[in-house]
Structure 1
Amino acid sequence: MDYRVGWAKQEIDIEPCGYAMHGFGQPGHRATAVRNPLFARSFVITDEAQDESGSLLYCCLDLGYITHAMRQGVVAGLREQLGEDLDESRLVLTCTHTHSGPGGCAHEGLYNLVTPGFVPAHLEAVVEAALSSLLAALQSRQPTLIEYRQKPVPDPVPVAWNRSLKAYNRNPDVAPKTPDKTHLALDRTMHLISFHRAGKVEALLSLFGVHATCLGSQLSSHDGDNKGYAALHAESSLKALGAENPVAIFAQGTAGDVSPHYHGPGDRKRRRKLRGEAEYAYARQNGQQQSEHAFAMLDETGQPVTGELDGVLTYADMSDQTVAAEFAGGRQDARTSSPCHGVGFFLGTPIDGPGMPAPLGFAARQLARSERRKKLKPEAAQHSEYRKLYDSQGPKDILLNAGRKTVLGYTLGQIPLPDLADPLVAELKRQAKLGALTQSPMVPTVLPLQILRLGNLRLVCAPGEFTTVAGRRLVSTVAKSLSLNDGETCLINTYCNDYMGYVTTYEEYQEQAYEGGHTVYGQWTLGAFQTCFVSLAEALKAPRALRRYDTHTMPVTVPDSELALRSGLPPRS
């Protein structure tokens, strides 16, 4: 099979002028400088035997998240240039998940609060960079050989640790690890797709799951963090080996419970020693280790990538899914619910990103449980609806009901907390009282699910953050549904096409650590993804003319009037 492949990168031109960055949810984490530029990096792959509409388009951005607004803008721009030649099901937007990138790029309400609000200039710059890199990649296509390799990062390499060990150890399909072995409680396998011309490697794509949180919330510069440093190191190395225009993408796999910081005895003391320049040096070191492992893999024989290109894309309302019994422990009535955030979400993670103080978290849990008891009384209003909600949300102590737009039972504009106590609560109340959130969703609920075929590879493109075991179970489910042959491989790429939070396993969810508290559609969320991806896999297996799957469901349009009320807000001083 002959492929033509092009690649390009384009800097994301955003002036850091004091807006809070996306990732840690801290109003004081404001950008006032650029340490290392943020880029959009793209590949376009065309099968010589297919027409132009069969091309795969892949763009990875140095950002914390992908939003539906970004994808809408990129699709609109590509349609202007390509017309009907664009098959949206073959376009992937993903990100490195750096926490040192701009916020304010979503139309939904919650994840923009910290910025504060929606920043149109940020979204426009992101869309422009993605479009420029994709179109440049399209124009630069040449005959290219593609190879695939996979190999674990050696255990002694200090690149990743599981940050939620108690939750991980709840899974019956893992060998429990002790606190001094957290570096083994994750998927250490790097997957590498390399692009070759004239016997030389010219570009590459790595998939390896680890959070881009080497840099903490006390810093004030845009920076690509470990994934950005890995890309820069790899591109420099490729150029030294003779590549003319090298592009290296270090994208994410199952990073949900994986930290770049040591987790184990003495971890907090060790983290406190990393401050300022030491954090940048650490991010560079972590990225270089990822890059060096990729280059070590290139020394071994790769598997040729051959075969047709294909893709399927659907949107599913993950807040209202019936979960197949095989993915719900045999239960016939398992369902997801409208999105809710637990106290565990607001407590954050102790090493990567601490949240509210523990005493406040304790009080919040008591109030959340009191609210649950009140709502589940038989005489309570809407008792049956709340019974369904709590059955879906399981043990989560719900602090924010994002679907109903309440906090501990109070409407957003009436939260009984003084504005001076928390700037985010103050901003939430302000926007609610303005009417800026009346019809707008707080978080996405209708989500994009996608599977790409690149010859003998299948790529599950999933939104949000999957934990190690959740991602492994999803890949296993999809691979089984696709009935893959020997020599065919199924991979997962997370943070694709939109962002809504986390996906944990049912067992991990019961721990209600940060990841479970941020699994917003309840304890059956992974089962819902498995159920929906099975249907999508069946569609991909069928001849194109016979495919029957939902191509009409789409996210709701956020009212322009409400978006305007939370746009163009001045950065906090």
Structure 2
Amino acid sequence: MHYQVGWGKAQLDITPCGYAMHGFGMPGHRATGTRNPLYARCFVIQDGDSAPLMYCCLDMGYVTHAMRSGVVAWLESQLGDDFDESRLVLTCTHTHSGPGGCAHEGLYNLVTPGFVPEHLDAVVAACGSALSQALETRAATEIRYHQQVLAEDIPVAWNRSLKAHNRNPDVTRYSPNQTHLALDRTMHLISFYRQGKVEAMLSLFGVHATCLSSHLAEYDGDNKGYASLHAESCLHAEGVENPVAIFAQGTAGDVSPHYHGPGDLKRRRKIKGEKEYAYARQNGQRQSQHALDMLAAGEGQSISGPLDGVLSYVDMSNQAVAPEFANGQTQARTSSPCHGVAFFCGTPVDGPGMPAPLGFVARRLASAERRRKLKSSSPEDRPYQELYASQGPKDILLDAGRKRVLGYRLGKIPLPDLADPLVAELKRQAKLGALENSPMVPSVLPLQIIQLGSLRLVCAPGEFTTTAGRRLVASVAKSLSLADDETCLISTYCNDYMGYVTTYEEYQEQAYEGGHTVYGQWTLGAFQTCFVTLARALKAPQENRRYDTHTLPPSVPDSELALRSNLPARN
């Protein structure tokens, strides 16, 4: 079967001028140059007169609701009634060496500092340009699906949170010498053929784009960007005029591109400066070469069948979790977003955060605050019993929902500005009134499932760990009652960003990933509950679908956004 398919890519026109990059949360990680251009890459797939599927991937660290809203508005202006928002996927490579400042919420812009409208405009413009190319170049194209495990001796990915991973009862437990096995090593590949020749591809494989550290100062696509450039170069050398290769993310939440095991910190310290760029290129080319080898090894499964999609926004901060996804509990719920001490401590190899002594003190203070709240008889403290029931063992440092740090209002944090530039910026914005009615992080999140013939793609926001993603896919696939020749996959970092999703068991470890699972220990169960509801809608005939298509994220006050826009880059 042939679909009408087009593809395109466009460079992100963002001049590095000293703003901090998004990803590591380090104020000193400022962009003063560009090592390799950052791109928006897009596919448009159509069958007959129905609205097309659109998959757009950015060389960025995150996707925000502001970015998606801008792209949606552009598509509505161009396509009118021929555009169906439920069939648009906007995702990213999660490079930590890309621009920030593209969110309307407060927290993930803090390091930039603030909101940078020019960055957001450039992202929307690049997506529009790439989508225009894709729409204009639609032609008869065969689509095929391939999957193949990366051999164990290909050094491309390691589980960076092994203790948490090994808590799961449904995994093989590995030793510290086997972290390269404690992940999903399968690459999924969708390839696009014209006249028997591959001209474009989409790879899904989960590994963090953190080969490059926060000590560098140039925009760069990291391993995923290098993978795309390498694959496109190889296809061009074979005579393809305008190849597009997207290397998007699967379950990357607990997967690092750096070796983890005995001696990992010593090994990581030896990779500095130019060696980091060489390492990123090598890692990316290994991903690219695996994809190219898959294409050379066989034709894969020909894709045929209808195109479809469902999209629903869900308030993830207040979700009841079905008992089947909550270890049988009937009262399991999520809560307003909270960030644990482990989040601020970072990950030792990929991106260290606050020093260990400061982390120790923060945990003691967080525990004391918990005890005080739970012992309090004050009516205003009663909601904290529900909060801590949802958040479980997390040592809460930032209560993002209530805008408190260890119980203090943001503008009243008793830490000198000189002690931490991020705290200083947080206090400054709070005192300006720039965060009074603005969410710190998004809570109303987009959940999406698209159908491409025999493939179903779960498009999830944020970062899912290996096992969390596998469980989510299994839940959706079961609800869809897929046939033997149908496949369900996951694409992460889609349509918005709010942090991590771990399993309940992993969350108890309170490693970095658990500390950044902001809606509490039942977050994965809430995603499973909501995605299963969405899967049932997709399974039903169009005229019988009943699901929420009206809920949207709350708007951010323009007056507050203006107060944290175009703030001067720090010297």
User: Does the pair score TM above 0.5?
Assistant: yes
Gaps in structure 1 of 5+ consecutive residues: none
The residue number in structure 2 matching 1:461 is 459
The 3-state SS of whatever aligns with 1:129 is helix
Q: Deviations over 1:475-525 (max 9, x none)?
A: 000000000001000000000000000000000000000000000000000
Alignment equivalent of 1:404, drawn from 402, 405, 429: 402
% identical aligned pairs: 76
The residue number in structure 1 matching 2:14 is 14
Structure 1 residue 417, shift from structure 2 partner? 0.2
CA contact (8 A) 2:343 2:513 kept: yes
Alignment equivalent of 2:280, drawn from 270, 279, 283: 283
1:162 aligns with 2:163: no
The residue number in structure 2 matching 1:367 is 365
Alignment equivalent of 1:138, drawn from 132, 135, 140: 135
CA contact (8 A) 2:91 2:493 kept: yes
The residue number in structure 1 matching 2:46 is 46
Q: Deviations over 1:507-548 (max 9, x none)?
A: 000000000000000000000000000000000001111100
Structure 1 residue 553, shift from structure 2 partner? 0.5
Give the AA of the match of 1:88. Answer: E
The residue number in structure 2 matching 1:185 is 182
The residue number in structure 2 matching 1:562 is 560
CA distance in 1, matches of 2:213, 2:38: 17
Give the AA of the match of 2:273. Answer: G
Alignment equivalent of 2:257, drawn from 260, 268, 272: 260
CA contact (8 A) 2:34 2:220 kept: yes
Structure 1 residue 381, shift from structure 2 partner? 3.6
1:427 aligns with 2:453: no
The residue number in structure 1 matching 2:119 is 122
CA distance in 2, matches of 1:14, 1:197: 34
The 3-state SS of whatever aligns with 1:184 is coil
CA contact (8 A) 1:41 1:59 kept: yes
Structure 1 residue 136, shift from structure 2 partner? 1.2
The residue number in structure 2 matching 1:436 is 434
Structure 1 residue 85, shift from structure 2 partner? 1.1
The residue number in structure 1 matching 2:306 is 308
Large movers: runs of 4+ above 3 Å: none
Structure 1 residue 384, shift from structure 2 partner? 2.8
CA distance in 1, matches of 2:503, 2:379: 32
Q: Deviations over 1:122-174 (max 9, x none)?
A: 00000100111012101100000000000011000000000000000000001
Give the AA of the match of 1:128. Answer: A
CA distance in 1, matches of 2:507, 2:153: 30
Gaps in structure 2 of 5+ consecutive residues: none
The 3-state SS of whatever aligns with 2:179 is helix
1:294 aligns with 2:291: yes
Give the AA of the match of 2:315. Answer: D
Alignment equivalent of 2:235, drawn from 221, 234, 238: 238
CA contact (8 A) 2:2 2:143 kept: no
CA distance in 2, matches of 1:301, 1:201: 10
The residue number in structure 1 matching 2:35 is 35
Q: Deviations over 1:356-391 (max 9, x none)?
A: 000000000000000000000151343431100000
CA distance in 2, matches of 1:321, 1:396: 19
1:353 aligns with 2:345: no
Give the AA of the match of 1:443. Answer: V
CA contact (8 A) 1:319 1:338 kept: yes
Structure 1 residue 4, shift from structure 2 partner? 0.6
Q: Deviations over 1:341-365 (max 9, x none)?
A: 0000000000000000000000000
CA distance in 2, matches of 1:243, 1:338: 50
Q: TM-score, normalised by structure 1?
A: 0.99
The residue number in structure 2 matching 1:415 is 413
CA distance in 2, matches of 1:383, 1:499: 29
The residue number in structure 2 matching 1:25 is 25
The 3-state SS of whatever aligns with 1:382 is helix
1:175 aligns with 2:167: no
Structure 1 residue 175, shift from structure 2 partner? 1.1
CA contact (8 A) 2:462 2:494 kept: yes
The 3-state SS of whatever aligns with 2:477 is helix
Give the AA of the match of 1:254. Answer: T
Alignment equivalent of 2:216, drawn from 215, 219, 228: 219
CA contact (8 A) 2:340 2:515 kept: yes
The 3-state SS of whatever aligns with 2:252 is coil
CA contact (8 A) 1:239 1:245 kept: yes
CA contact (8 A) 1:375 1:381 kept: no
CA contact (8 A) 2:10 2:40 kept: yes
Give the AA of the match of 2:564. Answer: R
CA distance in 2, matches of 1:398, 1:517: 8
Structure 1 residue 2, shift from structure 2 partner? 2.8
Structure 1 residue 254, shift from structure 2 partner? 0.1
Q: Deviations over 1:103-134 (max 9, x none)?
A: 00000000000000000000000010011101
Structure 1 residue 401, shift from structure 2 partner? 0.1
Q: Deviations over 1:24-75 (max 9, x none)?
A: 0000000000000000000000013xx142x101100000000000000000
CA contact (8 A) 1:103 1:112 kept: yes
Give the AA of the match of 2:304. Answer: T
CA distance in 2, matches of 1:84, 1:458: 24
Structure 1 residue 410, shift from structure 2 partner? 0.1
Q: Deviations over 1:411-456 (max 9, x none)?
A: 0000000000000000000000000000000000000000000000
The residue number in structure 1 matching 2:69 is 72
Structure 1 residue 181, shift from structure 2 partner? 0.2
The residue number in structure 2 matching 1:537 is 535
CA distance in 1, matches of 2:153, 2:509: 29
CA distance in 2, matches of 1:176, 1:302: 32
Give the AA of the match of 2:42. Answer: S
CA distance in 1, matches of 2:276, 2:405: 35
The 3-state SS of whatever aligns with 2:382 is helix
CA distance in 2, matches of 1:335, 1:462: 19
Give the AA of the match of 2:345. Answer: L
CA distance in 2, matches of 1:217, 1:447: 28
Give the AA of the match of 1:319. Answer: S
CA distance in 1, matches of 2:209, 2:456: 25
The 3-state SS of whatever aligns with 1:534 is helix
Give the AA of the match of 1:292. Answer: Q
Q: TM-score, normalised by structure 2?
A: 0.99
CA contact (8 A) 1:374 1:380 kept: no
The 3-state SS of whatever aligns with 2:490 is strand
CA distance in 1, matches of 2:499, 2:131: 27
Give the AA of the match of 1:290. Answer: Q
CA distance in 2, matches of 1:131, 1:323: 38
Q: Name which of structure 1's ranges 295-304 and 500-509 shifts more when overlaid on structure 2.
A: 295-304
CA contact (8 A) 1:20 1:116 kept: yes
The 3-state SS of whatever aligns with 1:416 is coil
Alignment equivalent of 2:483, drawn from 476, 479, 485: 485
Alignment of 1:485-524 (within 5 A): 485-524=483-522
Give the AA of the match of 1:39. Answer: Y
Give the AA of the match of 1:45. Answer: I
